[in-house]
Structure 1
């Protein structure tokens, strides 16, 4: 790889018309901005869709193309009414900029707001939108999150749903990048990267860079490692979904029993996602009790593993799967974007020294790539760790680009 830039930046579109997929949606954003008037019935747009389809990028491009001063707020980091008001009230209701520029407000990841209704995050945003003097664009991954129900149903907000980009479209983008980077790819390898990305074009480009850096060719063999990782991750997500919607103990057990990963890790996944599937206090109480019993069995298994420990495993699995899932008696089943919730328990369980290193690296990624903490940890961090394990010229270039310290580099070279 030549230069010191991530390919998602180096080969990013320069204007809205160059965006890939969802073209009609992007045009609606342009129309909204060009036709903006504070007296319009529609005061804001909510862009909903999975990661990597261009929600945030399209806003950046519109602001740049039409010379708007962009003010960006990440709702995941702005969780209560006072902090939201502090950051965007003046922007949306107050004075113009120093140079009298037009203004555009982006509230990113609005589904990341705290769910506690009395903290007023959503009510504060709705109040601002009603009175705003400037156009507001919001993004979310989970359109049907209960946290943003009042935003989704508001008559002054238009919701635009972005679809996953088709694999064939992603493949063409990867072909163009390979041509610019003087890489001779196996077409089957590009197709595999495109399909594994599951509609996330940003993820596909990062995979391409990680697999082909320092080479003039890209083979099907090169792609096998990333394919294995994606398949394993999808297996976990599918198992969790099947477990939480299981109607019998056996269905719940079957969902997780076939996973070829450590059951302590499965237990952590389940623990992290119980609040996403259960709203009632009794449900939460019963499910966490079942999980604590499973944890007790896991501890006994570890102590007497060499003798009779493994005979206790079926009881542990039954409690952490059926015991937990069947505690849900009144809350309707909902699909959950599980990819969002792994980093939380990962972050909470690494040591203090590594937690500081993670925070440092994440901050540097955010500053360089203009992404949220969540995107830094979910997408960019695994890519950097993949590169730094190779200890090559690309790692050195990226270290300079992100201004990493030797401590940052040591953190990136260690496994999760």
Structure 2
């Protein structure tokens, strides 16, 4: 949830809750005040009834109290004190039932005990209370709506620099010469945030240039002594004066140097992929490239009697041809290298995905770390960078890759 949405939601809920509580308290207070007015009116009417009965020893006729309903009935003894309450009664004047306020009290007239109940209608007072309530609450509600609208408008205006900062931050790329674009704002906090991001971006670009330069220089510098070592080893291996033991040691050194060369090339390739330095993209026909790769690896598959089945549909993708070649080299090369004699490989290409399935003597890889750098199965003699390179190439072009193991086969799937 966005901060602005959360803030508005909290503000709206708080305002509505406050308005409901204030409205409830105000309406109850107003109702209590109007009830007291009615009670005072009922007391005055009761005093008039008392005065009338004391002088005439009789109850007044209803015609003298047309806005009231007065009821009398005899009781055996006086026990009830003055009591007020709300009720629903039939108003004979209007001919309908309505809410009212009553007063009950016992009195003595002509030696007889009577209970008197005087009921006054609350309709007029309730209408008055509602009118007062609406006159007060509706303007308050309107004011809250206006304040909410103004706050929403102002918050959007205030957060414009932040949104621009976020947009600039998302588009920032350390590979481009252009630095982080500053945002002009009068808000101190956003200006400090902008200055901090500009400072950090400059330091990141500086560190990135130094690391990239060091990596490239180190990789190139390593190639020279490795090439010299390989050259010397070639010369020594061609010598006829070496003993069998020396020859074996030289072969081991040659293999170790070749592995070091491949490791250096793989790490340099990973650096270039990580830093998005290989930008030469074109429409690549994967079906054609896969057919060429299968033909290229035919000698190796025949040597291990591996059966290769291919089900290829037309598929073109926009990517670097160099990286596409490396991707297919790793996927198909691994399926051959880790296969056993007489095994099989299934290559399927559709408009949605590329799948390479192979048998293997090795068990399942750990799916959580299968594409991590230097991870490899115990039976593997590789460096553990092949699948990492595959994943980096796939993600660089906006694809995804997954690994699964079932029915004793390994399955690598690239989803376009």
TM-score range, shorter chain: under 0.3
Q: Say which one has the larger Rg.
A: 2
Bigger relative contact order, structure 1 or 2, given CA contacts below 8 A and separation 6+?
A: 1
Q: Given the two structures, how large is their TM-score scaled by the length of structure 2?
A: 0.23
Q: Given the two structures, how large is their TM-score scaled by the length of structure 1?
A: 0.23
Q: Could you say which structure has the higher helix fraction?
A: 1
